[in-house]
């Protein structure tokens, strides 16, 4: 398949997904139908994903189906995040979701991957996805918060837009780390696959512990106070990564997991706590946008740094420090330093 066709299709799906999330988020907030949309798009994700097992000989049609699956999955995530409104202990629920996600990924890789192979893996994964989603379909209550809101109101909210931009600065580093960790460890330290898996395993452990820790802390002190610590965490990680010797790579993997868990746990809570909860679905659509943008721009900037440093991976990673530093100043501008002065 021509790479240009894939790129155009993926980019179009990304744009369509964001526009659809804005439209549906507005409807969800106005009518209070977050759970209904969460269930619908979760099931559509599973349906379209399972169809990929039967389209291996039709690559272009498979790409179209995959693009729709990606769009539906993104919508499901927006309303999944907004379901946090229904919990009394929102921090615990958010952190537990992050921790269970890491555990499930590890279990799948260790115990299930040996029984999965193309093309059946798509169907098998979607069946598992559906089964794991069923408890939330049956048990979770639909948050009743509702309010008529306009996009013009959101786009005029300078504080909110700057907050989203500051979250994007951290997501840029996080997504680049996820995509490039294996290559970085192999190029800089010459690690073999088994050694890389150990670092990634410690990162997953950090994610589990971090999800539980930051979830509990969010309930105690609030995500409004806790989220800004992410700028320090990611800056510390990038600086430490530059100086760390090979013998201490396992602890740095753990720190990476802690930093990722902090971001995934607190960013959505920050939007829920810091802005009108009756507009949460629409505002979380913008949070979803940061993840999609970071998936492309972070790697693009990383590539530019590699080009400028003549493929110096360590220095290029250190240059990514510009993102959390810029994000910190944007965040301070948005909140005029008020958040960081909160006494828990």
196 pLDDT more than 90: no
Q: Which pLDDT does position 113 carry in this prediction?
A: 63
Confidence (pLDDT) at 1: 62
* One-character DSSP codes across 215-256: HHHHHHH-HHHHTTHHHHHHHHHHHHHHH--GGGHHHHHHHH
CA dist 265 and 255 (Å) reads: 15
> Do 280 and 24 touch, CB atoms closer than 8 A?
no
Q: 175-185: per-residue pLDDT in tens?
A: 888 888 888 99
Give the three-state DSSP class for 156: coil
| Same domain, residue pair 116 and 162 | no
Q: Are 291 and 171 within 8 A, CB to CB? A: yes
Contacts of 246 (CB under 8 A, 6+ apart): 189
Residues 132 and 170 both lie in one domain: no
Measured distance CA(115)–CA(109) in Å, rounded: 10
- What are the angstrom distances between the C-alpha of 201 and each of 4, 102, 107, 111, 330? 35, 10, 11, 14, 33
Count Cβ atoms within 10 A of the Cβ of residue 193 and give its class: 0-12 exposed, 13-18 middle, 19 or more buried. exposed
Q: Do 160 and 125 sit in the same domain of this protein? A: no
For helices 3-31 and 59-82, the axis angle rounded to 10 degrees is 30
* In a domain? residue 344: no
pLDDT in tens, 251-283: 999 999 999 999 999 999 999 999 998 889 999
Domain span at 251: 156-338
pLDDT of residue 289: 83
Q: What tens digit of pLDDT does each residue of 231-243 get? A: 999 999 999 999 9
94 and 28 in a common domain: yes
Query: Do the Cβ atoms of 22 and 285 come closer than 8 Å?
Result: yes
Q: Are residues 44 and 71 in the same domain?
A: yes
Split into its structural domains, the chain has a count of 2
pLDDT per residue over 43-58, tens digit each?
999 999 999 999 888 8
Query: Is residue 342 scored above 60 in pLDDT?
Result: no
Q: Of 77, 110, 137, which residue is a domain's last?
A: 137
Quote the pTM value: 0.86
Let me know: does 287 contact 212? Beta carbons within 8 Å.
Answer: no
pLDDT at 90 over 70: yes
Predicted pLDDT at 343 = 35
How is residue 68 written in tokens? Answer: 């729709």
Say which CATH number the domain at 182 has. Answer: 1.20.1250.20
pLDDT greater than 70 at residue 149 = yes
Let me know whether 318 and 188 are in one domain.
Answer: yes
């Amino acid at each position: 398949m021509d790479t240009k066709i894939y790129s155009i299709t993926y980019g179009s799906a990304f744009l369509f997904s964001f526009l659809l999330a804005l439209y549906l988020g507005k409807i969800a907030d106005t009518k209070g139908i977050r759970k209904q949309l969460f269930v619908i798009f979760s099931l559509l994700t599973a349906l379209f994903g399972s169809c990929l097992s039967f389209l291996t000989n039709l690559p272009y049609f498979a790409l179209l189906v995959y693009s729709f699956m990606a769009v539906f999955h993104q919508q499901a995530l927006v309303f999944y995040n907004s379901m946090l409104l229904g919990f009394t202990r929102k921090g615990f629920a958010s952190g537990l979701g992050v921790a269970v996600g890491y555990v499930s990924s590890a279990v799948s890789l260790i115990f299930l991957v040996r029984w999965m192979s193309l093309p059946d893996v798509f169907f098998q994964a979607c069946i598992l996805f559906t089964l794991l989603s069923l408890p939330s379909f049956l048990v979770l209550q639909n948050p009743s918060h509702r309010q008529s809101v306009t996009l013009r109101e959101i786009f005029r909210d300078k504080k909110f837009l700057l907050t989203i931009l500051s979250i994007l600065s951290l997501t840029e580093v996080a997504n680049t780390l996820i995509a490039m960790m294996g290559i970085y460890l192999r190029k800089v330290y010459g690690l073999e696959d088994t050694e890389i898996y150990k670092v990634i395993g410690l990162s997953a452990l950090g994610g589990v512990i971090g999800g539980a820790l930051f979830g509990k802390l969010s309930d105690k002190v609030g995500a409004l106070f806790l989220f800004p610590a992410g700028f320090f965490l990611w800056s510390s990680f990038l600086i430490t990564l530059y100086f760390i010797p090979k013998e201490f790579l396992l602890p740095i993997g753990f720190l990476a997991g802690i930093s990722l868990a902090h971001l995934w746990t607190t960013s959505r809570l920050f939007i829920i706590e810091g802005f009108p909860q009756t507009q949460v679905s629409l505002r979380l659509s913008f949070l979803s946008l940061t993840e999609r943008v970071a998936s492309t721009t972070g790697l693009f900037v990383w590539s530019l740094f590699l080009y400028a440093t003549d493929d110096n991976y360590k220095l290029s990673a250190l240059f990514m420090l510009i993102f959390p530093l810029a994000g910190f100043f944007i965040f301070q501008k948005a909140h005029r330093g008020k958040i960081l002065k909160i006494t828990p």
